[in-house]
Chain A
Amino acid sequence: MDVFLTQILNGLDKGSAYALIALGLTLIFGTLGVVNFAHGALFMIGAFCSVFLQRLLNLSYETVDPTKTDFLGNPAVIKTPYVESWFGPEMGAAIIDWSVPLAVLFAIPIMIAIGFIMERGLIKHFYKREHADQILVTFGLAIVLQEVIKAVYGANPIQTPAPDALSGVAVLAEGVVYPVWRIVYFFFSVVVIGAVFAFLQFTTFGMVVRAGMADRETVGLLGIDIDKRFTLMFGLAAAVAGLAGVMYGPINAPNYHMGMDFLVLSFVVVVVGGMGSLPGAVAAGFLLGILESFASMTAVTDIIPGINQIIIYLVAIIILLVRPRGLMGRKGVME
């Protein structure tokens, strides 16, 4: 029973990441009709926002300590972060320790700005173009973004640890321990998903966007400048992907290709959920996360070897064959 509980937790956790990425992806699909292959890159850039902040906070001045030597036998250079000298060692260390949560605040404006620039500078020219062209241009953009990150930060992963206070394990029940940060991540994603839904449900802005998702032309005829709102939607989607990335850093160290790793999966999630359906994307994210966790249990792999390799794709195939438009897809979207 404990095993099941832990695997459900693992599934919810993976599902949180899938759902957050898929949510942004399906928002862009639904509102703008754009197949955004650069969405994974936005997730990656989010994660690197916290790497950047961590590096920024660790900017140091150097002093030479003649009593110690470096690997070549020369006098060692001791680095002290500026924040430690400004706020005192303890406060400074605490600020550095909390760099990931701080990066959340830092990432929101940056991601929204990146979203705006992407939409205004590039994507808007592709609204009326074929999906194939959208795929090519956003794929090219994704490659460029990830190569730039690689050129700056290298190819190996860089740890962005959670604050000490949130990095231990929590004992949930007898024999069930679970990392605190993963629990934080789950609740964080619930809050973000809830906020996006509330925003779309209860604000006039959201209502217009939802109407635009349903029927763009009619909304345009009403004299509402839907384009401006869609630009904002793109910023919102970028911010959601970026936040997912920032908070994901402590779970798995960010690397430059993490976006591509998630891209295919998030497309599968979106499609299984049903094109253009936000609740569908969230439901599919959690469903696939939980199934993936169960499939990796030895009790399952002993019966069907290799099932853990293919479970997501297998489930996607079955769902799409049983339900032609995924779990909650609408007719006529991207068919």
Chain B
Amino acid sequence: MSKTNLTRRGVLKSGAVAGAGVALPTIFTASSAAAYTNEPTGASVTLGFNVPQTGPYADEGADELRAYELAVEHLNGGGDGGMLNTFSSKELKGDGILGKKVEFVTGDTQTKSDAARASAKSMIEKDGAVMITGGSSSGVAIAVQGLCQEAGVIFMAGLTHSNDTTGKDKKANGFRHFFNGYMSGAALAPVLKGLYGDDRKAYHLTADYTWGWTQQESIAAATEALGWETVNNVLTPLASTDFSSYIAPVLNSGADVLVLNHYGGNMVNSLTNAVQFGLREAQANGKNFEIVVPLFSRLMARGAGENIKGILGSTNWHWSLQDEGSKAFVKSFGTKYGFPPSQAAHTTYCQTLLYADACQRAGTFNPCGVAEALEGFEFDGLGNGKTLYRAEDHQCFKDVLVVKGKENPTSEFDLLEVVEVTPAAQVTYDPEHPMFAGGQLGSCNPGA
């Protein structure tokens, strides 16, 4: 009894030749011929872009999708080549991957782990995708990463900031380019110290689920190391829309800094509410009251409008960076779509290029070969300076940006200004760091 693991495209074409003209349903062809899941045998290779197209993160998803389409265009030799020209590895020639034309399928994660897995499965089972990428929340990323591990395809994570993605839930087939909660804390802490001093009392509002907790833990650890005191940490329900009852007690709590460990709609609302309650102008303990939003995204910042002015946070990448890679990317994205890319777009574009390059270098689409090529890979020219894909946990280590809401934006895109580029060395941690311990990569799974 031979079996296939979630696959079928692999034999589809070779089998089609064998079975051509045979209409008798007695001919069963088992697909054990494939060396790994969805081995591309034709002239093209299919990638699966799994992004939220409905639900609250649909705008991020749409931007990710734009970047994916741009990356595919560049890989196939179209457009101006974007970051292919600045990428330190020169393996990709604009003729697809390993000479095969790059095709793609898209799906909707709905920002739900179930729907995301269903969508990824359909790409693997029906469309023969050899790699899945995308997502805009950690829950989805971890769920899809687990699926790809079982199915034997590579997962290139999109927007996922939780420590767990490359911590306790890391997987051999999964790779993350985006930064994480720990890195946010490590990057923010020195800047906070420089701007607000080392004698501060912080009040945390934390989204009451896994990502919120790991982020809060990271930021609290980093700021306490500076000498800050954590006055309180209040957990807020995910479903909250009005944060007034959480914000109101802050001013009389003796704290002089408010840390909002929120993302997406939660972040927009809690920040709006905090500004409404006058916290940005308030005084406490003889100092100016400050608000910190550790994970910033420009698209979300737009939702928060005026409220983000002067608020400090960290981000993976920003379009105003002036290195060659970023400039090339902003140019080709901006020319095609008419507005600058978001950090979500940047990270997914990079992930696609990195995957393609790894296949090219490995000379195969076999996940095990690709994984080997990505592990310990050092590169440059993709917008975050010199970057390492660490072998131990499949996390990228690169510079992290500390940003601040701009006081006088010159355009509707010009919302954040880069305060500091924290060098990669400063945000690097030991793979066995307690915040990341507990999981195992396991061994790579090629599926067949």
Are chains A and B touching directly in their complex (CB below 8 angstroms)?
Answer: yes
Interface residues, chain A, with chain B CB atoms under 8 Å away = 2-3, 6-7, 9-11, 13-14, 17, 68, 70-72, 76, 150, 154-159, 161, 167-169, 175, 177-179, 181-182, 251-253, 255, 257-258, 261-262, 292-293, 296-298, 301, 306, 308-309
Structural contact, B278 and A253, CB atoms closer than 8 A: no
Kindly list 13 other residue pairs between chains A and B, CB separation below 8 angstroms, not including A68-B410, A71-B414. Answer: A6-B248, A10-B242, A10-B248, A72-B330, A156-B300, A167-B276, A181-B276, A251-B272, A251-B276, A252-B242, A252-B269, A253-B272, A255-B265
Residues of chain B lying within 8 A (CB to CB) of residue A293: 244-245
Residue of B nearest to A155 (CB): B58
Structural contact, B251 and A298, CB atoms closer than 8 A: no
Residue B254 is within 8 A (CB to CB) of chain A in the complex: no
**Interface of chain B residues 31 through 86 with chain A (CB within 8 A):** 55-59
**Interface of chain B residues 249 through 287 with chain A (CB within 8 A):** 249, 251-252, 265, 268-269, 272-273, 276-278
CB B119 to nearest CB in A, in angstroms, measures 18
Structural contact, B244 and A14, CB atoms closer than 8 A: yes
CB B71 to nearest CB in A, in angstroms, measures 19
Residues of chain A lying within 8 A (CB to CB) of residue B276: 167, 169, 179, 181-182, 251
Q: Which of A159, A257, A261 contacts B305 (CB 8 A)?
A: A159
Structural contact, B249 and A3, CB atoms closer than 8 A: yes
Stretch at the interface among B8-16, B139-147, B232-240, B388-396: B232-240
Structural contact, A301 and B234, CB atoms closer than 8 A: yes
- In the complex, how many residue pairs between chain A and chain B have their CB atoms under 8 Å apart? 126
Known: A68-B410, A155-B56, A181-B276. A309 touches B208 (CB 8 A): yes
Residues of chain A lying within 8 A (CB to CB) of residue B335: 72
Structural contact, B251 and A177, CB atoms closer than 8 A: yes
Residue B306 is within 8 A (CB to CB) of chain A in the complex: yes
Interface residues, chain B, with chain A CB atoms under 8 Å away = 55-59, 208, 232, 234-237, 239, 241-242, 244-246, 248-249, 251-252, 265, 268-269, 272-273, 276-278, 299-300, 302-307, 319-320, 330-331, 334-335, 339-340, 410-411, 413-414
Q: What is the bound-complex CA distance between A154 and B59, given in angstroms?
A: 6
Q: Is the interface of A mostly helix, strand, loop or mixed?
A: mixed
Residues of chain B lying within 8 A (CB to CB) of residue A161: 305-306
Residues of chain A lying within 8 A (CB to CB) of residue B305: 159, 161, 253
Known: A3-B252, A72-B331, A76-B411. A156 touches B302 (CB 8 A): yes
10 residue pairs bridging A and B, Cβ less than 8 Å apart: A6-B249, A13-B244, A68-B410, A71-B413, A72-B334, A72-B335, A159-B272, A182-B244, A251-B276, A257-B55
Q: What is the bound-complex CA distance between A155 and B299, given in angstroms?
A: 10
Structural contact, B303 and A157, CB atoms closer than 8 A: yes
Structural contact, A251 and B411, CB atoms closer than 8 A: no
Residues of chain B lying within 8 A (CB to CB) of residue A3: 248-249, 252
Which of A182, A258, A292, A308 has the most C-beta atoms of chain B within 10 angstroms of its own C-beta? A308
Residues of chain B lying within 8 A (CB to CB) of residue A252: 241-242, 268-269, 272-273
Residues of chain A lying within 8 A (CB to CB) of residue B269: 157, 252-253
